[in-house]
Amino acid sequence: MLHDKIIVLTGGADGIGWECAKAYAKAGAVVCILDKSQIPISRLNELHTQQNIAITCNLTNEEEVATAMTTIIEKFGRIDAIHNNAGIAHPSKTLDQTSNQEWDLLMNVNVKSILYTTRYALAYLKESQGCILNTSSLTATIGQDNHAAYVATKGAINALTKAMALDYAPYKIRVNTVSPAAINTPTLQSWSKEQPNKEQMQHYLDKLQPLGNMPTGDVIADACVFLLSNAARFITGTILPVSGGAELGYRSII
């Protein structure tokens, strides 16, 4: 479904990002991972092709993002898609308890990084009539206690997706967002350990989604493959829940 596409994937070192990297490569794409963590060649080789690359990049640093995009263009000559997946969830706090530094870091990683990737790849996406995909969260539409700043960033991503979809539609560039609920990733496991009732948290997360226990990131990756593929060629400005029905209404969680 993604044969020969050059896909830039931020935050692809683990969790949902790594599952997407594997799915994109399996679907025929060349994956260019931008992540603050270095990915060993041995792990990159798990993608089963020689062309995929990983660039260690601080996505809150505009110069590093610009350099990374230049590197990708020099190597592959084009960009067909960007998946803005990088994100952090820390800290678990109400708004008044959130420090300036914590607020700024969340906004910079989760939202401002999208500004930078778009700024330095848009010209190439215009040439390829490519697409942009963002990773949001179900919390953006239903809220979450003790995560005000995080929820704010995900709400911003949803609104930004719709604005970008309108702005770039004249260039045949599609912009969509995938919205997970509870997905078993290193980030979520780290988050659950911060909670005061961490012993009950796993049970809660497994019961959150009517379709079954908390899944791994492959369920998100499958949806992302579709949204980046030609099968979704007339879909733009969409916030797609991949949530197992977590948002569908009141029910007993025992």
Closest among 182, 141, 183 to 158, alpha carbons compared: 141
In the set 24, 124, 150, 168, the catalytic residue is 150
H or E stretch at 1: none
Q: Report the phi/psi class of residue 114: left, alpha or beta, with left for phi > 0 and alpha for psi in -120 to 50.
A: alpha
Whether 181 and 247 have beta carbons less than 8 Å apart is answered as: yes
Amino acid making up residue 130: G
Q: How many CB atoms lie within 10 A of CB 194?
A: 14
Q: Does residue 33 sit in helix, strand or coil?
A: strand
Distance of CA 89 to the CA centre of its chain: 12
Whether 59 and 109 have beta carbons less than 8 Å apart is answered as: yes
Confirm whether 150 is a catalytic residue.
yes
Task: Using alpha carbons, list the distances in angstroms from residue 86 to 36, 67, 89, 133.
Answer: 9, 18, 11, 11
Please give the Cα distance from 88 to 138 (Å, whole number): 15
Please, which contacts does 247-251 make with residues 24 or more away whose CB atoms are closer than 8 Å?
Answer: 247/138, 247/141, 247/142, 247/181, 248/210, 251/210
For the chain, strand residue ranges (E) read: 6-10, 30-35, 53-56, 81-84, 131-135, 174-180, 239-242
Name the residues annotated as catalytic.
Answer: 150
